Amino acid sequence: MFTEERRLAALEEMGVLDTPPDERVDRVARLAKEMFGVPMVSVSLVDRDRQWRKSQIGLGAAEAPREDSFCDYTVRQNRMVVVEDASAAEEFADNPFVAGDPHLRFYAGHPLYAPGGEPVGTLCVIDTQPRDFTESQSALLRDLAGWVQAELTRDDELDHAAIIQRALEPKRLPRVPGLEIAAAAVARGHLSGDFYDLMPREGTLRLTLADAMGKGAGPAIVAAGVRAALRTAPERGIAAAMAGADRLVEEDLGDTGMFVTAVHADIDTRTGAIDLVDAGHGLGLVVRADGTWEHLRSAGLPLGMGFGDEAEREPVHTVLAPGDCFACSSDGLLDVLDPEAPFAQFAHIVGEHGPEGAVRAVLDLARDAKASDDITVLVVRRTA
């Protein structure tokens, strides 16, 4: 059992309180909102007298009093807390957040832990309407909380430089009629925590960009396995390939807590059509020839979180017109872009410089900013 002073000291040592928004954490919050269909999501850290939100959707303020908060209750209980109808629960019916604004009814929160195991906050999903909450949803919330926890502690705890060997990088970029391709990776150390892959087939370019997460040398095995799984039987559709890779990670290595965010896509070299499956990555963009841009992503969990059903890996579709680019990066790029508008800056770089120039510009940014994480970037432009 941890004392309150020890818990607060652990929170302080993490160095997360009152830091700027982090797109890595924000994307998990967005995914939670989509997966649970709730109007409110919060990644809250419980300080001495307040709960401070590293990320929030639908709650408005960055912090709120700790007293009477559901997140404080979850931290004190040191377990997942699910309240399906707070107005009917003896512990919460008189809570000011239930009896008064915003009239909360549903709450599900899972603790977030410091590296020493102290509960320091929560990932919670909230609604003003009562909800049922199934065992599978509880497992999903637990997995998402683990992802948030990994992001919050990554600088101190995660060995991102020891995941996949450079030998797995393509030795040369393929020449594909109708497409201009550029890609590069900058490792924080001798080994990279990302990988990209390019497989031209008749009339199609299949591409992958992924980030294997974890601690120590073990993720190297996961990353190599995922790459091999996605390359096996290339005639399979991208949804089937991703589902197979997911089962590999979940069934063989699920108890390690490792997972992989990934983008897997087919580009039709004749029509410019793109079909893409996104496993929790959320960093793929289409940059149009006129400078406008849009996210290209589907709502899917990372590989290794028990989402191995092909039907759940529904591709998204768009078309590249001549001059349009598809661009994707690993999340290390977020560390060297404008935190207020990272995607807009990335899109501007791609639109202004084209594939090769954008890759060079990203490498320059990484060097100038002394990037603390691996950075991989892939840009494909349709030329005809």
The full set of domains in the chain, from first to last, is 4-157 (3.30.450.40), 166-382 (3.60.40.10)
Q: Given a cut of 50, is residue 279 above it in pLDDT?
A: yes
Pick the range with the lowest mean pLDDT from 121-125, 262-266, 335-339, 376-380: 335-339
Q: Is the pLDDT of residue 115 over 90?
A: no
Cis check for the bond before 234: say yes or no (omega within 30 of 0). Answer: no
Crossing angle of helices 4-14 and 135-157, rounded to 10°: 60
Q: What percentage of residues in the chain have a pLDDT greater than 90?
A: 52
Position 89 pLDDT exceeds 70: yes
Portion of the chain with pLDDT greater than 70, in percent: 86
pLDDT beyond 70 at 192: no
| Site of tokens 């009093």 | 65
Query: Whose CA is closest to 304, among 194, 147, 166?
Result: 147
Three-class SS state of 326: strand
Ranked by mean pLDDT, the top range of 85-99, 293-307, 368-382 is 85-99
Least confident among 55-64, 148-157, 217-226, 311-320: 217-226
For the segment 144-170, the average pLDDT, to the nearest whole number, is 62
Question: Which pLDDT belongs to residue 278?
Answer: 92
Task: Give the count of beta carbons closer than 10 Å to the beta carbon of residue 135.
Answer: 7
